[in-house]
């Protein structure tokens, strides 16, 4: 099986050796996505809602580059720096998944930069 690298034109520069996404067969894997702009600067510092929107919009661009969308996500892995942000995170998350939300887990974790409040990795499935 061929693995195809997915890099949207406006992707943030990676902080380590990874691609924004990969496609293996009909499965799309979106790397852990952080609130980083295309210039490499942190986005929405101190604002979990702004960071969540930015992360989900970035995931959406990676999916679109692979011919997929939010409706194709089967599983999300969510990392929050502080679980006190859980309710505000979910308010934004619900906007992107208003019906039939994908399976997921959400854990508290230290993230790569101290100003990062949220990170999400996604797995999507599309039919040819």
- Segment among 9-13, 42-46, 71-75 with least mean pLDDT: 9-13
Answer for the pair 126, 28: CB distance below 8 angstroms, yes or no.
yes
The CATH number linked to 70 is 3.30.1330.40
Q: 47-70, pLDDT tens digit by residue?
A: 999 999 999 999 999 999 999 999
Answer for the pair 64, 99: CB distance below 8 angstroms, yes or no.
no
Task: Say whether pLDDT at 15 is over 90.
Answer: no
Give the total number of structural domains in the chain: 1
pTM, full prediction: 0.96
Q: Which domain holds residue 104?
A: 3-125
Q: 77-120, pLDDT tens digit by residue?
A: 999 999 999 999 999 999 999 999 999 999 999 999 999 999 99
How far from 127 is each of 31, 53, 109, CA to CA, in Å? 21, 27, 33
11-24 burial string, b = 16+ CB within 10 Å, else e? Answer: bbeeeeeebbbbbe
Q: Beta strand pairing status for 27-33 and 21-24? A: antiparallel
């Amino acid at each position: 099986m061929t693995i195809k690298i997915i890099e949207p034109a406006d992707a943030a520069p990676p902080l380590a050796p990874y691609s924004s996404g990969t496609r293996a067969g009909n499965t799309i894997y979106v790397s852990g996505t952080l609130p980083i702009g295309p210039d490499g600067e942190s986005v929405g510092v101190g604002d979990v809602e702004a960071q969540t929107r930015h992360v989900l919009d970035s995931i959406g661009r990676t999916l679109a580059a692979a011919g997929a969308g939010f409706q194709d996500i089967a599983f999300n892995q969510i990392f929050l720096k502080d679980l006190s942000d859980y309710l505000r995170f979910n308010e934004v998350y619900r906007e992107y998944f208003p019906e039939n939300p994908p399976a997921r887990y959400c854990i508290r974790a230290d993230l790569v930069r101290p100003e990062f409040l949220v990170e999400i990795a996604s797995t999507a499935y599309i039919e040819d």
